Amino acid sequence: MGLNLDDKKAVVAEVSAQLADAQTLVMAEYSGVKVADLTVLRAKARQSGVYLRVLKNTLVRRAVADTPFAPLAEQMTGHLIYGMSADPVAAAKVLNDFAKGNDKLVLKVGSYDGKVLDKAGVQALASIPSREELLAKLLGIMQAPLTGFAGAMAALAKQREEAAA
């Protein structure tokens, strides 16, 4: 059963709202992917803050009109699942990681920073560490000198205690 006009307007509004906050949009063909596998993919997307949906291409074309994602409209053909995220790499990472383990999901195209990315571009974007990973690395780098300093102070204190004894 198809959507009535009000339902279609609601879907376009929902997708437009997601696109307003999104930095990245990734599309993949999902023909032949089992429902159980799609459920796992959706769970991973939710954990990563990725909006992931199977949508009618015509409705998404309307939603992307007048946005930085508008150049993707001509690529919106076939059975597609759409991933959108405010994190620049999250949508690409979720779909790319899933595609590695499931050959039925095929990355098609994406967009980041107003630029259209082919499959290789999406895979390259997915290989970039996420914001959380980068912050963890930065924190580790910042803590290393303090840890070394604290160790040196403890060793110096022990050395002085032994000298005093």
pLDDT in tens, 118-165: 999 999 888 887 777 778 878 878 777 777 777 778 788 888 888 877
pTM passes above 0.85 = no
For residue 61, the model assigns a pLDDT of 93
Residue 14: count of CB within 10 angstroms of its CB: 15
pLDDT digits (tens, 9 = 90+) for 27-39: 999 998 999 999 9
User: Which pLDDT score, from 0 to 100, does residue 1 have?
Assistant: 57
Q: How many CB atoms lie within 10 A of CB 110?
A: 28
pLDDT digits (tens, 9 = 90+) for 74-109: 999 999 999 999 988 999 999 999 999 888 999 999
Q: What is the pLDDT of residue 51?
A: 94
Please compute the mean of the pLDDT values over residues 1-14 and round it to a whole number. Answer: 85
Cβ atoms of 93 and 28 within 8 Å: the answer is: no
Of 5 and 131, which is predicted with more confidence?
5
Give residue 163's pLDDT.
82
CATH architecture of 5-128: 2-Layer Sandwich (3.30)
- Whole-angstrom CA distances from 124 to 97, 112, 119 are 12, 12, 9
CB-CB contact of 111 with 27 (8 Å): no
Residue 127 is predicted with a pLDDT of 87
The residues near 50 (Cβ < 8 Å, ≥ 6 apart) are 83, 84, 85, 87, 90, 91, 94
Type of residue numbered 98: F
Domain boundaries of the chain, sorted by first residue: 5-128, 130-165
pLDDT in tens, 34-78: 999 999 999 999 999 999 999 999 999 999 998 999 999 899 999
**pLDDT for residue 47:** 93
